[in-house]
Amino acid sequence: MSAAQIYVLFVLAATMGLFVWGKWRYDVVALVALLAVVIGGIVPAETAFSGFGHPAVITVAAVLAISRAIQNSGLIGWLARSLERTGSGPTLQTAAVVTLVSALSAFMNNVGALALLLPVVIQTARKSNRSPGDLLMPLSFGSLLGGLVTLIGTPPNIIIAAYRTQASGEPFGMFDFAPVGIILAVVGAIYIALVGWRLLPSRKAGGASEMFQIADYITEVVVSEDSKAVGLTIGDLLAPAGQGEIFVVALRRGTERHVRPGRYNELRAEDHLLLEGSAEAIETVIHEAGLVLEGTTPLDPENFESEEASLVEAVVTPMSPLAGRTVAQAMLGRRHGVNLLALAREGRPLRENLRGIRLVPGDVLLLLGNADALPETLSAMGCLPLAERDLALHRTPSPLPLVIFAVAIGLGVFGVLSIPVAFTAAVVGLILTRSLTLRDLYASVDWPIIVLLAAMVPLGMAVEASGTSALIVDGIAHMSDSLPPWSVVLMVLVAAMILSDIMNNAATAVLMAPLAIGIAERIGVSADPLLMAVAVGSSCAFLTPIGHQSNVLVMGPAGYRFGDYWRMGLPLEIIIIIIGVPAIIWIWPL
């Protein structure tokens, strides 16, 4: 083993370790790995950033933009409302959720499909007196199953198609994934609808009234006529508790409501204030200013809602700029103009000092802010609303984005244009027809995924250039010498599944695809079934919440724990293996 091979193996092991550790975001890990192989002389500096022009990277970016335009069109939202008309039977509801999200995920980004249906599914569960947890893991898993069906259903398929071009000179087509993908999606959906949801633990999680005990975080007080606070500014009122220890979330004065009133607002008798802070800080302010606790009726922040102010529950996404920051560091009020009233993690409210809590993906936030600005604010915060806000559910549907998308698919399927060029042309067409704004275009692209792919492509080149790929391939081929050829498909599928459960699925495809091609050449079989095994395994992250963004996004709203995923996911992965291996070999012979 050469020094270069030892170095590349060390970089690969460290990269996988950092992916599993999760302390650094996966795009940062990929960039560190890229720099390591460049500095180590494995990848020439002039080709270090060639991955940003890779066809797979361009296609993924275009698909994300097209998905946003379709979501904005209102057609998908109109279709999503059909969930509310399904029967109340748990099996029927689960089947409808999985079927709809799978169909959408086949032709749009699976995280986008999940985000569109997430509030609708939660509302459906509440109306039928079910825990959202009964439907949200089926929603997540269904989005992954749907991605198996087409080239654009999930980034791993696009990556696999690009590697097939290198191996045989021709990529997989738009629907080459469909024969295997449809079989697995249908079998997976049947399992989830009939058996899977029954394996989930029964936990109640849902709305603010269930998940949050608001009184533990905020207090409503009244400025009485003889209070020392009359005539004081809000800043003077809060001064005795210390700066940053207590906030006025909202002020109600007669019929007027003010969210985040300024520090220089002068208080009047009969003003109602919503105070947020520690028990000690609130007690200090009440005692010093002679305020009166509003104890005649239960505390209800909705009393402070108006046309200008509104409450919203939202989940922190893996790509949110809030992730990894404490509430104090996030400065939600100063930067975004909203107040955090409560926070829950894994379905349980966190009762310690809110300002010191470090936010993580999947946290559910209860926010109070300007009603008109909330959709844009949540987008800037990288949070998904758990109520029907700005989801295009009630807009007049426009078929134009779907028509443009269908034309692009047709141009790609019939070979008039390559898929990257056809989809890029579709994005331009959506912009020219005003179906997609430039702002939505750049906001829709999941830049960490783009950076991850662009950095991992040269890393894959380093594995091949150093001879490390050949070393690994020879070892696997030697193991399989005494085994039937189909066992190699099984090993590749299982290896991809294991990796995708602990690291990003796109990174799994980038690492596994060259190995699959090398193994096929070494043992003298077609690379197609092994590449299909990589595609399926990379998209079947059913054992952990960290394997895919969809799994993380449903964790908080459903109240799932880390260990809940394998309950429904392990049998599903076993079914995928049992059905998938013969299906792949039957449709793509060795």
Most confidently modeled range among 183-192, 238-247, 311-320, 452-461: 183-192
Residue pLDDT, tens place only, 336-353? 888 787 788 877 777 566
Task: Answer whether residue 207 shows pLDDT above 60.
Answer: no
Residues 6 or more apart in contact with residue 395 via CB below 8 angstroms: 73, 74, 77
Residue-wise pLDDT tens digits, 138-148: 999 999 999 99
Is residue 78 pLDDT above 60, yes or no?
Answer: yes
Q: Which of 518, 510, 540, 528 lies closest to 34, judged by CA? A: 510
215 has a pLDDT exceeding 80: no
Least-confidence region, from 266-280, 495-509, 573-587: 266-280
Distance CA 362, CA 317 (A): 6
Q: Which of 384, 250, 245 is nearest to 322 (CA)?
A: 384
Query: What's the pLDDT at 256?
Result: 81
How confident is the model over 165-187, as a mean pLDDT? 90
pLDDT band at 299 (very low <50, low <70, confident <90, very high): very low
**CATH 3.90.870.30 for domain 209-304:** no
pLDDT at residue 249, as a whole number? 78
* Of the candidates 39, 47, 50, 54, the residue with the CA atom closest to the CA atom of residue 8: 39
- Which pLDDT score, from 0 to 100, does residue 387 have? 66
CB 313 within 8 A of CB 245: no
Lowest mean pLDDT among 20-24, 192-196, 224-228: 20-24
Q: How far is CA 234 from CA 410, 447, 568, in A?
A: 62, 41, 52
Taking 50 as the threshold, does the pLDDT of residue 202 lie above it? Answer: yes
Strand order in the sheet with 272-277: 256-259, 246-253, 272-277, 218-222, 292-293
Instruction: Give per-residue pLDDT as tens, 31-62.
Output: 999 999 999 888 898 888 988 888 888 988 99
Taking residues 248-265, report their average pLDDT.
82
583 burial type by CB count under 10 A (0-12 exposed, 13-18 middle, 19+ buried): buried
Please check the confidence at residue 285 and state whether its pLDDT lies above 60: yes
Mean pLDDT value across the chain: 83
Q: Which of these, 107, 13, 16, 24, lies nearest to 501 by C-alpha position? A: 16
CA atoms of 294 and 291, how far apart (whole Å): 9
As a whole number of angstroms, the distance between CA 403 and CA 429 comes to 11
How far is the C-alpha of 572 from the C-alpha of 94, rounded, in Å?
15
* Band of residue 204 on the pLDDT scale cut at 50, 70, 90: low
Cβ(468)–Cβ(5) below 8 Å: yes
CA distance 10 to 111: 32
Q: What is the pTM of this model?
A: 0.79
Average pLDDT, stretch 264-277? Answer: 86
Contact 515, 473 (CB under 8 A): yes
pLDDT at res. 408:
92
Between 319 and 454, the higher pLDDT residue: 454
Rounded to whole angstroms, the Cα distance separating 385 from 381 reads 11
Q: What's the pLDDT score for residue 253?
A: 87
More confident residue, 196 or 76: 196
Give 493's pLDDT tier (boundaries 50, 70, 90): very high
* Per-residue pLDDT at 361: 87
- Whether 205 has a pLDDT exceeding 70, the answer reads no
242 pLDDT more than 60: yes
Q: Which of 2-16, 26-40, 198-212, 393-407 has the lowest mean pLDDT?
A: 198-212
Predicted pLDDT at 306: 56
Residue 376 pLDDT grade (very low, low, confident, very high; cuts 50, 70, 90): confident
- Superfamily the domain 309-385 falls into: Regulator of K+ conductance, C-terminal domain (3.30.70.1450)
CA 453 – CA 548 distance, rounded (Å):
15
What pLDDT score was predicted for residue 585? 95
Q: Which residues does 273 contact at the CB level (< 8 Å), separation at least 6? A: 220, 221, 222, 223, 248, 250, 251, 252, 267, 291
Distance CA 361, CA 317 (A): 5
Q: Which of 11-15, 76-80, 425-429, 515-519 has the lowest mean pLDDT?
A: 76-80
Give the pLDDT band (50/70/90) at residue 76: low
Confidence of residue 395 (pLDDT cuts 50, 70, 90): low
**Sheet strand arrangement including 364-370:** 348-349, 338-345, 364-370, 309-316, 383-385
Predicted confidence at residue 393, as pLDDT, reads 44
Tokens of 269: 């008798």
Quickly state the pLDDT bin for 86 (edges 50, 70, 90): low
The three-class DSSP label of residue 341 is: strand
* Mean per-residue pLDDT, 385-408: 71
Q: What is the pLDDT of residue 185?
A: 96
Q: Residue 377 pLDDT > 80, yes or no?
A: yes
Mean pLDDT of 495-502: 89
**Average pLDDT of the residues in 143-162:** 92
pLDDT for 300:
52
Fold equal for 209-304 and 309-385: yes
Structure tokens at 317: 């996404």
Per-residue pLDDT averaged across 505-527, rounded? 88
In the chain, what are the domain boundaries?
Answer: 3-205+404-587, 209-304, 309-385
CA pair distance 239, 308, nearest whole angstrom: 28
Query: What pLDDT shows up at residue 212?
Result: 58
Q: What is the pLDDT of residue 296?
A: 38
Look at residue 538 in the predicted model and tell me its pLDDT.
93
**β-bridge partners, 247:** 276
